[in-house]
Homo-oligomer: A and B are copies of this chain.
Amino acid sequence: MDKTCPGLKEAVAEIPDGAVVMIGGFGGSGAPIELIHTLIDAGPKNLTVINNNAGNGKIGIAAMIDAGMVAKMICSFPKSSDPRAFTDRYMAGEIELELVPQGTLAERIRAGGAGIPAFYTPSSYGTELAEGKPVAEFDGRPYVQERWLKADYALIKAELADPYGNLTYRMAARNFNPLMAAAAEKTIVQAHKIVPAGDIEPEQVITPGIFVDKIVEVADAKQEEELIRAGVTYD
């Protein structure tokens, strides 16, 4: 079995207009910048994007928004050091926002991958973010019912990958990546390095290959935060 893919272009080519796309990362940590920028080149429209944030500066998800590809963001924190791209579109009513508490976002994605259609959480109970959601009491305490979150595609950044799609992540770049890999119909990975099967210790695999569809090696991947601090613009 060999899930490696010759290039970034081939990896994202199939993503169609209207797709729901989970994008890994928390801020710049674990953000698959090269996959995102290749997706902008491919140019599908009317996407729903799921990420903790909503882009920063003029690269990555912010550049997707600037390119007019994003119809809806599902995220917990659509602010950043330079949130102009999302803010402008949002204030102009040109992009829809589903705001989800961060832990609920993570758990909804985890539930999507694990076949749990709904669960109860204390988070957001009694707040405006719980409005319209079913509430139930367990052991005398009120909880909000939340639904799973799935996607057509996930774009993921990994450290090591083997041809079976087994993945490891670098430090806190793990964040949402393993959850999204499991919750998407198709998971596309940019890995720092593709190693032969067996080179990742089975005990050290974080994302088992069953969740992964395509892997591209991007040995010289950029770190989003560094690009933003350098004032880089995607074009």
Given A168-B203, A169-B203, A203-B168, CB of A122 within 8 Å of CB of B118: no
Q: Chain A: residues with CB nearer than 8 A to chain B?
A: 107, 111, 114-122, 136, 138-139, 141, 143, 147, 168-171, 174, 202-204, 206
What are 13 residue pairs bridging A and B, where the CB atoms are less than 8 Å apart in the complex?
Answer: A107-B116, A115-B121, A116-B121, A117-B120, A117-B139, A118-B138, A169-B203, A170-B203, A171-B202, A171-B203, A203-B204, A203-B206, A204-B204
Whether the pair B114, A143 counts as a contact (CB closer than 8 A) is no
Copies per assembly = 2
**Contacts A171-B202, A202-B171, A204-B204 given; does A136 touch B121 at CB 8 Å:** no
CB distance from A199 to the nearest CB of B (A): 15
Which residues of chain B are within 8 angstroms of A168 by Cβ–Cβ distance? Answer: 203
Nearest CB of B to A34, in Å: 22
| Chain B residue at minimum C-beta to C-beta distance from A138 | B117
Find the B residue at minimum CB distance from A119: B119
Chain B residues closer than 8 Å to A203, beta-carbon distance: 168-171, 174, 204, 206
